[in-house]
Amino acid sequence: MADKTLTEAVRLFEQKMAQGQYKEAAKIKEDYSLPLDMLQDAVTKEYMRIVGLGEYSLAAELGKQYGLPEKLVRDAAARSFQRKVDGEQYKAAAEYAKEFGLPQESIRAAAVQAFKKSMDFGLAKNAAEIAVQFNLPDEMKIEAAEKVYSMHMDSGLYNKALKIAQKYELSEELIREAETKAKGRR
pLDDT per residue as tens digits for the range 83-134? 999 999 999 999 999 999 999 999 999 999 999 999 999 999 999 999 999 9
Report d(CA 107, CA 99) in Å as an integer. 10
For 63, counting Cβ atoms within 10 Å of its Cβ (0-12 exposed, 13-18 middle, 19+ buried), the class is buried
pLDDT per residue as tens digits for the range 136-148? 999 999 999 999 9
Report d(CA 32, CA 14) in Å as an integer. 13
